[in-house]
């Protein structure tokens, strides 16, 4: 069944009539995702790929019974869309949008937490339980159903790693992009806790990067609370202090959040740490 989402998950697409929203709605439907509605203000009554469009999230949820939303909304309005989705009563929100102002996201993330809603992202590729549902922009054909859970801050590294896992015959239980912005909803530790309880997951791959402290918290969680084998790759080993590398959250400040410190903590926790993404599949194979 995977963690967080499965074949029964019903999805509303916020921004469904836009270029990205309509394109990825089609791709999600082709994968088998239950996209039951979309939202674009003042365009209610339309349909996209046979999916009905509503003016508001409250109307969409009340009419369809959806439990999850995915957001393809420009940065200036995305935080408001997160809040609107939480107010409408969904259980999960996936926010693809990159570049949301930090102050806006701090407000939205706090609101979501107070409502008990799970937020993936922003600036993430989404979440997929292979063979059941794909909610996001991930290329579905590279995924294969199996027993390896994957958590990543990077979309493109997720695709590279999953491709090598699938080619090596190592399918995935659920793959989660948590997002690369400074303020995100779901953390590594949240996913690890869920994977620990998931009988379908036998091993986990964690793809981290420089900046922030999420990886350090994940290492501490693995050491104290996680019983399954973990393989780790940390991106950004050559990044200079104070220089942002790729993601807005990938910046070393005051010597904190370095690749070296994160790698050291993961090794102390008993995780297998690899030097290159291409080495992950072989490292995971050693556990089976």
**Residues annotated catalytic, as ranges:** 247
How far apart (Å, rounded) are the C-alpha atoms in residues 104 and 73?
14
């Amino acid at each position: 069944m995977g963690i967080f989402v499965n074949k029964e998950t019903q999805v509303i697409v916020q921004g469904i009539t836009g270029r990205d929203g309509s394109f990825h709605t089609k791709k999600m439907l082709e994968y088998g995702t239950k996209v039951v509605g979309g939202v674009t203000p003042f365009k209610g009554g339309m349909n996209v790929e046979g999916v009905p469009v509503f003016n508001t999230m409250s109307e969409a949820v009340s009419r369809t019974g959806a439990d999850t939303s995915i957001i393809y909304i420009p940065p200036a309005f995305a935080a408001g869309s997160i809040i609107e989705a939480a107010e409408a009563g969904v259980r999960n929100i996936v926010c693809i949008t990159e570049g949301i102002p930090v102050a806006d996201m701090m407000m939205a993330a706090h609101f979501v937490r107070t409502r008990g809603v799970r937020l993936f992202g922003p600036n993430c590729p989404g979440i997929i339980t292979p063979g059941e549902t794909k909610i996001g922009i991930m290329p579905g054909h590279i995924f294969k159903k199996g027993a390896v859970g994957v958590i990543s801050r990077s979309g493109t590294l997720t695709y590279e790693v999953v491709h090598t896992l699938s080619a090596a015959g190592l399918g995935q239980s659920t793959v989660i992009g948590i997002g690369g912005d400074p303020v995100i909803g779901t953390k590594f530790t949240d996913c690890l806790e869920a994977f620990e309880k998931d009988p379908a997951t036998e091993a986990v791959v964690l793809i981290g990067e420089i900046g922030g402290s999420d990886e350090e918290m994940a290492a501490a969680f693995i050491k104290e609370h996680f019983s399954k084998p973990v393989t780790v790759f940390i991106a950004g080993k050559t990044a200079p202090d104070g220089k942002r590398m790729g993601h807005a959250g990938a910046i070393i400040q005051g010597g904190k959040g370095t690749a070296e410190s994160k790698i050291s903590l993961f090794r102390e926790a008993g995780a297998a740490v690899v030097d290159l993404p291409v080495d992950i599949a072989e490292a995971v194979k050693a556990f089976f």
